[in-house]
Amino acid sequence: MLDTATSATAAADAPSATGKPTARTRWRAPRPGATAAAVAVYAALLPVALWAPGALGADPFRLRTAMIPIVVGAALLLATAITATAMRRGGGGRAVAVVCGVAAGLFAVWTAFTMRVGLTGAAYGYAGLRGDKGRLSALAMRHTVTMHSSDGIVQAAPSEYPPLYPWLIGRAGVLLDVPAWRLFGAAEAIACSLAVVVCFVLWRRSVAAPVALALAVVSLVVFPRPDKAFEVFALMVVVPWTLAAVAAPARRDRLHWAVAGLLGGLMVLLYQGYLMFAALGIVTLAVLAWRRSPDRRRYALHLLGLVLTAAVAASWYLGPYLAIMATRGLQMTDVFNSTRMLDHPMPFLAATPLGALELAGLAGLVWYRRRERWAETLLVLLASAYLYRLVFLAGYVLNGHTKVLHYTDGLIQVVLACAGVLTVTRAAPVVARRLQASAPAGLPVLALAVLVAWTGVEMWRTWLPGAPPSGGAGEEFQISATLTPNSATRAFTEPLPDGNYSPFAPEGLRAGWFPAGPVAEQVRSVLGPGARPVTLSVDERLFAVMPWPGYVGVDRSASGSTTHWYSRVRALKKLARVSDPARFAAASARTPFGGIDAFVLRRKGPHWEWTAYGHPTRVRFTPGQFASPAFARADLPNGLVMAVRRGSPGG
């Protein structure tokens, strides 16, 4: 299979009579066979993949259940490999392409199926409600009550985080009449599997179908984070999108400007980080393509149409963000000291299969940079990502702001891994000819099958809950307190709002309960059903399951710069100094950022505290401040207390 990808490349690089490479390129318009096959298989089988694990209802912590995706995947891989071999021997190049399209669709469906098996019985998606995932859930819950861009907690502010993914989940929750936080597992499976199909389709514009399949598969293994499925999608799309939308100087090789612009806007709305890291490279590639274009005016119009379309598509997010930046300014909170900043900046030196592939990719980028457009393009993107990391690493040393530089690792690795695949498929036939060796007939199929199988096993190990204790034995050995929790495990161990747990949650790993259910009951008892009070909560998980506006987020480093976190905390500290109950009731109803209708605080000795995470801020109130008849007070489980303002609008 893989040799069908390199024959066109070899022809494109064949020397002309002058000894120089010809201008012919293997970049060509897509053949609909492989693309149509991938889309059709995916669309037909995705509903089955989403439904079947739940219908089985098997405990994913049991070893027998965990092996189901392996058996299904092996059967699908064996069937497609046999079919591809038979087609290849029959000389059916187009048929091989269609089989590869079918394989891409099946791998995407298997991705969704495996993720759903891993979360069978879980109420939440991967990672539960902790950290960024809880804030994504808050955004989704917010979008069950509004269509506009809004921060997930401080709903008076527009969103700084790209809102499309949680917006879609929130609106789906409204249509299905299901709490949005219950839909994340299915949304993650759909987003990650769809990323495989879209990546394959985009790469198919530039390379043969077997190579496009290999590139789509490898792109997934670089960043297999279903809890951030929207980032997975953006990362897998950004490289082939750049190749097809920007780097191709000839009109016949480019995506239509409207399609390219819509995809660009989609990436901004899903996760704009990878476009930021690649921005300098994209501009450089646009200049190079314009200079080489046979019709510079048409190429310039293509770029203009692309940019305008992307801007319009992303305007409902970018417009409010830019407006508040211009009128009220931003208070930057990008100070999260991620341990990913300690990762080795040269991942291609890792002694792993992926590291070896990336090292081959780096060598290929340098070797083929003047002969293959993909090599030049990927090399420029790689340099852009490294330059972004270096510049903002220096800025971090000076001012502590990260500009999410630790996420550049994803773009670096996906560029190198894709370059590795392209290098191997480009160089293997040349090496074989020079060695005067002929590869066995089935070797290309075997190589691709091994790559797909390796990727599948790596994903399976990531997407199934936990890892068994070393040396364990027996059917029940995975249900153990010695499990190594991963993001799938946390989907089970996070308690439900009422304090119950998912049926398969291991006893020894259950996380502490934040009593969101009792909080909601107290609000309903005071303000009536449907109330949505502005709440100061010591735990952000409240907003992950209730569509209420918050006064300020707990985690400074994850709060949007549009929310003015520092100013809100200063207002809280000033409020806490008002000791008289009547004056406190009046002041808390009219802070500089609006009133606070409900307080959910932690009892600490004689105080009721609100504590920030990742910042030395502790705001202490006293029970006496809430002694006014304006408040209804209540004790909550797990050392929490609550005060609700009577008669507050709450909606």
Instruction: For 275-318, give the DSSP string.
Output: HHHHHHHHHHHHHHHHHH-SSHHHHHHHHHHHHHHHHHHTHHHH
258-269: pLDDT as tens digits = 999 999 999 999
Residue the block writes with tokens 């999108």 = 241
Q: Is residue 332 within 8 Å of 558, Cβ to Cβ?
A: no
Structure confidence at residue 61 (pLDDT): 86
Question: d(Cα 489, Cα 465) in Å, to the nearest integer?
Answer: 5
Structure confidence at residue 91 (pLDDT): 58
Structure confidence at residue 92 (pLDDT): 59
Structure confidence at residue 32 (pLDDT): 57
Structure confidence at residue 96 (pLDDT): 85
The DSSP element (H or E) to which 602 belongs, if any, is: strand 598-604
CB-based burial, 476-496: b 16+ in 10 Å, e otherwise:
ebbbbeebebbbbbbbbbbbb
* pTM of the model as a whole: 0.90
Question: d(Cα 428, Cα 386) in Å, to the nearest integer?
Answer: 29
Q: Which two tokens stand for residue 364?
A: 């290929």
Residue 487: helix, strand or coil by DSSP?
Answer: helix
335-355: pLDDT as tens digits = 877 777 888 889 888 889 999
Structure confidence at residue 143 (pLDDT): 96
Give all strands (DSSP E) within 447-550, no chain letters.
Answer: 535-537
Low-confidence ranges of the chain (pLDDT < 50): 1-30, 468-482, 651
Q: Is residue 61 within 8 Å of 478, Cβ to Cβ?
A: yes
The DSSP element (H or E) to which 633 belongs, if any, is: strand 631-636
What is the CB-side half-sphere exposure of residue 265 using CA atoms within 13 A? 21
Structure confidence at residue 289 (pLDDT): 94
Q: What does the DSSP 8-state code read for residue 644?
A: E
Structure confidence at residue 479 (pLDDT): 44
Q: What does the DSSP 8-state code read for residue 437?
A: -
